[in-house]
Amino acid sequence: MTQDLIRAISCADDYDPNSMSVDKARRFIRDFLQPVQTKESLALRSSLGRVLAEDILSPYNVPNHNNSAMDGYALNADDVAASGNTTLRIAGTAFAGKAFEGTVGKGECVRIMTGAVMPPECDTVVIQEHVQAEDGRITFGEGVRRGQNLRYAGEDLKQGQVVFAAGHMMRPADLGLIASLGLGEVKVYRKLRVAFFSTGDELASIGQPLEAGQVYDSNRYTLYGMLTRLGVEVIDMGVVRDDPALLEQALQDAAACADVILTSGGVSVGEADYMKQLLTELGQVVFWKIAMKPGRPLAYGKIGDAHYFGLPGNPVSVMVTFYQFVRDAMLVLMGQPNPVPVPQLSVISAGNLKKAPGRTEFQRGVLFADGDGQWKVQSIGNQGSGVLRSMSEANCFIVMDESCGNIQAGETVKVQILDGFV
């Protein structure tokens, strides 16, 4: 990050590195993100969750021939009587994968199965339930329309059409669609490399006995889970003590091997929080605090070419700030130009919610449907930023913006669904 860029944002209206609004922080982060550029070829099955580095073009029409959408009888609509019943002779049968090889003459039809190639003389399919078949002939009534129950060549995809544009993240359905084109390999961007560590003398690793004043480090485990679901390359650097020399070395090591550095703890204003000084020496920080709850102490900047996110130390704050800021930034860096934000739904609050205006809050809640099928949300209760249990019990964030105050039961609130987050 160059000093010119820092000067540029410093001139922006209401730029305050010590109290950034949630929306402004998201915009500033987005301005500094440059996706990875290295590409690699992967077998189709290995591409799930990866971001395409090149457009996928259809090599031919899909379907590649006119075919029947139903089991029935293929015919030429010109042979259908203007009124009353129509009777046609059955000239043969067309199966999926085995076309009818004869010619369909005037007054004739072909028994046809779903997906079978339409004989060139036919342009309509009458489903078998609407037909009476007897002695090699069929009879059906009025109401037949030209082209009914027919799937045209190229109806799904036309030859040369862009199936998926570069920047698309591969999903399960996409694997099948690309396989249907006969393609077994795709070009994707390399995995994003993310290094993370926790800071603090009070942290103990699992397996160690707790000494007076210590707690087990949970943040690295929640970060590992959230990062793994994003499909990045995870580099766990453990716990780093509150020692300036150790912290400096850890930051330098992380910047040398990763695209993104995440730390938890050490970005508040305590006497033993050395990160602000170190980051000023090693790189540049765009902001230090966000006008939000939980998660006010949040830093973003760069160390060398690596993006740096200094997350709070409280367990809930780590997860909230990750979902609200880091997740979308990661998706952009992975190669998605415009990642779809987590949608916000409007639902009814089942109880009273306390909030003071002035900052955005992300309260944990449970989204449910009442007996009438109406969606409502209920607070999980204790909203303390150290109560990690609240994140396990919740299935959504209740999003209350800066101007919002207390909410009364029955009022509408915005929620973000947690289930399915990546």
196-226 per-position pLDDT tens digit = 999 988 898 888 888 898 899 999 999 999 9
Is residue 135's pLDDT more than 90?
A: yes
The yes/no answer on whether domain 67-150 falls in CATH 2.170.190.11 is yes
Per-residue pLDDT tens over the stretch 248-292: 999 999 999 999 999 998 776 554 457 778 888 888 888 888 999
Average pLDDT, the chain: 91
Is residue 158's pLDDT more than 50?
A: yes
Where are the domains positioned within the chain? 3-38+191-333, 40-62+155-189, 67-150, 344-417
Reduced to 3 states (helix: H, G, I; strand: E, B; else coil), residue 121 is coil
For residue 6, what are the contacts with CB-CB under 8 A and spacing of at least 6? 284, 286
Mean pLDDT of 32-54: 96
Q: In terms of Cα–Cα distance, which of 195, 216, 211, 163 is closest to 263?
A: 195
The residues facing 345 across adjacent strands are 415
Which CATH number applies to 40-62+155-189? 3.90.105.10
Amino acid at 97: G
**What is the percent of the chain with per-residue pLDDT over 90, rounded to a whole number?**
73
Fold topology of 344-417: Beta-clip (2.40.340)
The residues facing 267 across adjacent strands are none
Domains 3-38+191-333 and 344-417 share a fold: no
Report the side by side order of strands in the sheet with 297-303: 233-240, 193-199, 260-264, 306-311, 297-303, 284-289
Which CATH number applies to 3-38+191-333? 3.40.980.10
Of the pLDDT bands very low, low, confident and very high (cuts 50, 70, 90), residue 68 is: very high
Mean pLDDT of 292-313: 91
The answer to whether the Cα torsion of 329, 333, 334, 340 is positive or negative is: positive
Amino acid at 6: I
